[in-house]
Structure 1
Amino acid sequence: MTTNHIPSTQLDPITFEVLRRSFEYTCERMSLVLKKASFSPIIYDMVDFSNAIFDNNVELIGQTANCPVHIAAMHFSARASLEKFPVNELGPDDVIMLNDPYNGGTHTNDVTMTMPIFYDGELLGFAVSRAHWTDVGGGFDTHVIGEGLSLSPLMVYKGGEPNTDLINIIKNNSRTPHYVEGDIQAQMGALQAAKNELTRLADKYGIDVVRQGMRETLDYTQKMTKNAISQLPDGEYEASDYIESDGFTDDPVRIKIKLTVNGDRIGVDFTGSSPATIGPINSPYANTASAVYYSLKFFLNPEAPANAGMYRQIDINIPEGTWMNPTWPSPVLGCTTASSSKVTSAIWLALAEAIPDDIVAPTCSDANWYTASVTDPETNETHVFSDLPAGGWGGTPASDGMHVTMDPLGNCQNLPAEVAEVLFPVRHNGFEMRTDSAGAGRFRGGVGVRTEIEFLGRGELIWMESSRTLEGSPGVNGGLHSAQQRQLLKKTDGSLKTIGGVAEDGTWYPQMLGGIRFQPGESFVFESTGGGGWGNPFERDPELVAKDVREDIVSKEKAAHLYGVILTEDLEVDIEATKEKRKVTSNES
């Protein structure tokens, strides 16, 4: 039965909860369709995409747990699209596409499609789908145009009919044209799934009740966020982090954060951050704002529905001209991976001053995204593929950090070895947890990974962003840094050459890579880091340290040096020697 009246006050609790959960379910349906219909491994296997629905004011109503760095940036894309194509000029099944970093986008690989949803001729809301495409023709550059085809808002579907001229232009500017059309259709399918679900809701409850549900969902999250901020002690809390270089200079690029908690509002100020860089790590405003929102979400009632109601309580100041808010044509290729992860790290370090007993130590603070090409030695065909080697998360107030898990910026996955070897002329020769990569602490961080990919034909590392090559991820409350990250080239004779990070002789090589070539049989080796430690390592239970040694998470030598735990030849705790070691070390400190 359809109810068409406008609620006079508010929805009853059951109707509200059904609608609230339906908004989330709508986005889950979108993601299921996109994942199953897409052509690119980075979408269907690595899950580098996000889907969301917005109300008729372009406020985020529902989302899936895909890439947090996408979600809060997507409304910038949707609003930019609607500035170019006003709603009164749009019809059913019109879809607008963009990826312009300086017009609502982030980096050029993230392509956003926006579709209005009408019900009985009235605008109900918008469906938005963003996916990371394997290749849009760019690479490592000092100008944003060199990073690939940049599309300001353009109509890719009109009344459900594809703009074949636009699609052909995109295909002609990609090294993977065989993915493009299928991925566009998959994103269109996701948008249609949202239309179907919201139409079903309007059929059941009426458009006015659904709109009321959207308003109340936003207000509900705002109320929960206000309550969460009110639990934080008022004050100003500052922290900083950095990327070692932008790939063109050896100067560190710093992010400076000041959090101001005042009652039920929180301010985030980036004043003092480094100016825009020559290299491609700059972060457009939309990307930086999105990183702020998801970084705070972990500690501002994570149980609250994820929507724009949270944004209402957060004030953001990002000075223009800094690398956190650059102007055209600064390159931005690493913004979603390298840059946003440093926003998270800096915010969590600042929160460690406000809520030390509740904070989590920074993660590996990097997605370590790379894109490579390889030529098939038999057909001479060139393939392009990407991967996201994960690292460890930081220790928590109650537990150790997670091993080999994607940075908070995304719920993405690494490219499975089996898929890579079927689709591309490469061989995976190693994927193993990295001993001693976690930050030591009362609760240690999770460990990183060592991965090795052999090129069977001529290869090139088109682009890799990474960091943490000088001192790893910081700990909190007395916890220690994790290990350093490193990139290496393994020659056919088995010898290793450091191409990023600190070499065996102490030489440091900038970690932003591009144009590194590999001969057939040579391999790319990457060593990711773990998360930072939480608390004093000498307060860790010696039995847990012994267990870590037996599981190759910590070496016997580091157990003694970092934790003060002495083990027997059978890797059991030598209780008396451990007490003496910790006592002596504490006295020396």
Structure 2
Amino acid sequence: MTDSRDNRIDPITLEIIQGSLQAVSDEMFAAMRKTAMSPIIYEVLDMGTGITDPTGQLASSGAGIPAFVGVLDKAVQRILELNPPDTVAPGDIYATNDPYYGGVTHLNDMVLAMPVFSEGQLIAWTANIAHWPDLGGMVPGGISNDATEIYQEGVRIPAIKLFSQGQPIESVMRIIEVNSRLPETLRGDLWAGVAAVRVGARRLEDLSAKYGVETFQEAMRHFMDYGEQVSLRALKDLPKGTFELSEEQDSGVTYHVKVDITDQRFTVDLRHNPDQDRGPNNCARDGCLIAAQMVFKSITDPYGAANGGSFRPIDVLTRPGSVFDAQEPAAFAVYYEVEVRLYDLIWRCLAPHLGGLLPAGNFSSICGTFIGGPHPDTGKHFTIVEPQIGGWGASLEGDGNSAIFSGFHGETYNCPAEVAETRYGLYVDQLALNEEPGGEGEFVGGRGIVLDYRVRNDGCFLTCAYTRNIHRPWALEGGEQGSSNYVEIIRVDGSVETYAVVTALQVNEGDVIRIRTASGGGYGLPANRAPDAVSRDIKNGFLTPERARQLRQL
């Protein structure tokens, strides 16, 4: 680590600058949340903000989805690769949503990035990412399980300028707008992102002016070096060796991971995996790196700040053309289920070897739910975009949490019923804990949810892609696996249809869309559960007396 004394910068000043960078990231997040037009952004908080150094190394992360914050540094690095340095000027704002051009995820997730200058030097970038409800594509909302190439998923923005020296490039703005079924909402979300990067840039300019460019840049370098040292110290306490796991997925393919841990490196080898999917179940190599970073952070320094230095010990090995390193023109709409499966696979691979540090498997799906159609009150098209909450796995220390977002999609909220009913053409009939059996053990998995949407107009649709439907959340130390993620369509005539994956399924007035998310896996033998806890489970409706007797005999 750089010795601050050699540079005559006292540690207190360095700490103040680092604290200021975090505060700026959080202010960017607040500005974006308060000005966005989509409930998926201002209520669910399906977004992220951050600051990078001039080369695109993460210097500070704001609130938001961890997997989104992990995109920002990679997006800035790709923007720098594709745009010559002499073309980057104060006031510019770049946009990318394309996984082949730094977008990393899928086309609905737009990244805006702004270079920050001080004394004529590029000193940092401010950046944000958010899910925009509709950017075109073959179906409303852009998410289709039937897509076979990225051209079918929406308009592609390949790391280009959206603003030049402070002024919007109207031709680019218009191209984006006319490709959306929700142009007014899109425009509002776009300007919210612009406001966020601009307020961040102003704060960094003030910070650099106060302490000087050299001190500002040294503080960022210092903190990244410190992040690396924290990670290296934590690595020394982890078990050493090579750990491998293969797991069949609901689709029938098998994913494989090999993790090698030494005192200096944390290597995730994904080279022996299936070829890229012919549909949209693919992810970019950078997405795999994010999954590895999140698990790494959880087992090394879960409560500390994250920056580029924190992740220097990580190596991720992929095979181009595989599902974890898909090549153009592969489709990416359901990338999130591939990445959350990888995240869970690495977690499951390491959990038995870490002495109870990690809990059993959770519902581990984004459970992305897309409902849209003509609004019964206005006639305008609406699209609801919602991740769902579910049950977490039990651990060595106790029962799992109920109704929590997956770790991959953390720092978000479910949309309030009042907002959903106002903005969308739906009624929310119930939101309750899922009482289906699953996740039993000495400590039980947390419960998923049951959420009913009643459709108010004909000609609406449902799209979803849930995993952990066939292969349920895994248990540890003799516990029982959790329940399943799925959706039921209860038609007006009383018939019931069940889905985990479906695209643009028609639903009409009076139909009920019932979402069920899984309970987490159990930990320890069910027969060892304390009697008072068993009584409580029976009282809460999570366990029948007959099932309790069966579990005592296992």
TMscore range, shorter length? over 0.9
- Per-residue CA deviations over 1:314-362 (Å, capped at 9, x if unaligned) read 11101112111111111111112x1121112111111123213212212
In 2: Cα distance, 1:450 partner to 1:189 partner:
37
Contact 1:364 1:531 in 2 (8 A): yes
- The equivalent residue for 2:349 is 350
Answer yes or no: is the 8 Å Cα contact 2:462–2:507 preserved in 1.
Answer: no
Do structure 1's residue 543 and structure 2's residue 543 form an aligned pair?
no
Aligned to 2:140: none
Shift of 1:405: 0.7
Call closer, same or farther: CA 1:431–1:13 in 2, change over 3 Å.
same
Specify the SS of the correspondent of 1:64: strand
Pair 1:362–1:162, CA change in 2 (3 A): same
Between Structure 1 and Structure 2, whose CA radius of gyration is higher?
1
Shift of the 425–160 alpha-carbon distance from structure 1 to 2, 3 Å rule, reads same
**Equivalent position amino acid for 1:226 in 2:** L
In the alignment, is the contact (CA less than 8 A) between 1:269 and 1:316 conserved in 2? yes
Equivalent residue number for residue 8 of structure 1: 6
Partner SS, residue 28 of structure 1: helix
Match of 1:94 in 2: 92
Report the Cα distance in structure 1 between the residues aligned to 2:153 and 2:7, rounded to whole angstroms: 51
- Within 2, Cα distance between the matches of 1:493 and 1:20? 61
**Superposed displacement of residue 558, structure 1:** 3.1
Letter paired with 2:72: M
Q: Hey, what does 1:28 align to over in structure 2?
A: 26
Q: Structure 2 CA distance, aligned partners of 1:170 and 1:424?
A: 23
- Which residue in the other structure is 1:227 paired with? 233
- Tell me how far 1:512 sits from its aligned partner: 2.0
Q: Shift of the alpha carbon at 1:240? A: 3.2
1:176-575 matched pairs, under 5 angstroms: 176-245=182-251, 252-336=252-336, 338-377=337-376, 379-410=378-409, 411-436=411-436, 438-461=438-461, 463-498=463-498, 500=499, 511-562=500-551, 564=552
- Give the direction of change, closer, same or farther, for the CA distance of 1:471–1:53 in structure 2 (3 Å limit): same
Q: What CA distance in whole angstroms lies between the structure 2 residues aligned with 1:462 and 1:109?
A: 17
- Counterpart of 1:49 in structure 2 is 47
Q: 1:136 to 1:557 in 2, by over 3 A?
A: farther
The one-letter amino acid of 1:456's match is: R
1:559 Cα deviation from its structure 2 partner: 2.7
1:54 maps to amino acid: T
1:196–1:399 Cα change, 3 Å: farther
Counterpart residue type for residue 234 of structure 2: A
SS at match of 1:321: coil
Q: 2:13 is matched by which residue type in structure 1?
A: T
1:23 shift after superposition: 1.5
Structure-2 residue corresponding to 1:575: none
Work out whether residues 363 and 485 of structure 2, in 8 Å CA contact, stay in contact via their aligned partners in 1: no
Q: In the TM superposition, what whole-angstrom CA distance separates every residue of 1:133-183 from its partner, at most 9, and x where no partner exists?
A: 011112311211111111112211112111222111111111111111111
- The range that moved more, 377-386 or 410-419, is 377-386
Letter matched to residue 518 of structure 1: V
Distance, in Å, in 2 between the alignment partners of 1:323 and 1:437 is 33
Q: Is the 8 A contact 1:371 1:387 kept in 2?
A: yes
Structure 1 distance, partners of 2:527, 2:324, is: 38
With 227-236 and 374-383 compared, the bigger mean Cα shift is at 374-383
Aligned-partner Cα distance in 1 for 2:81–2:205 = 25
Q: How many residues get paired?
A: 542
- Matching residue's letter, 1:554: L
The question of whether the paired residues in 1 share the 8 Å contact of 2:492 and 2:510 is answered with yes
* Distance change >3 Å, CA 84–CA 7, structure 1 → 2: farther
Query: 1:493: how far off?
Result: 3.3
Q: Does 1:150 align with 2:139?
A: no
Q: Distance in 1 between matches of 2:419 and 2:494?
A: 25
Distance 1:553 1:95 in 2: 52
Corresponding residue for residue 77 of structure 1: 75
How far the C-alpha of 1:495 sits from its partner, in A, is 3.4
The residue type paired with residue 71 of structure 2 is: A
Q: Percent identity?
A: 26
Q: Distance in 1 between matches of 2:191 and 2:110?
A: 13
Which stretch of structure 1 is more off in the superposition, 272-281 or 517-526? Answer: 272-281
Partner Cα separation in structure 2 for residue 197 and residue 98 of structure 1: 24
Which residue identity does 2:164 align to in structure 1? K
Whole-angstrom distance in 1 between the partners of 2:295 and 2:534: 30
CA RMSD of aligned residues (A): 1.7
8 A Cα contact 1:224 1:304, kept in partner: no
On the 8 A contact 1:242/1:342 being kept in 2, the answer is: no
Conserved? CA contact 1:56–1:124, under 8 Å: yes
Q: Aligned in 2, Cα 1:407/1:10: closer, same or farther, shift over 3 Å?
A: farther
Query: Which secondary structure does the structure 1 equivalent of 2:419 belong to?
Result: helix
- For the 8 Å contact 2:431–2:449, the answer to whether it is kept is yes
Asked if structure 1 preserves the Cα contact closer than 8 Å seen for 2:356 and 2:395, the reply is no
Scaled by the length of structure 1, the TM-score of the pair is 0.89
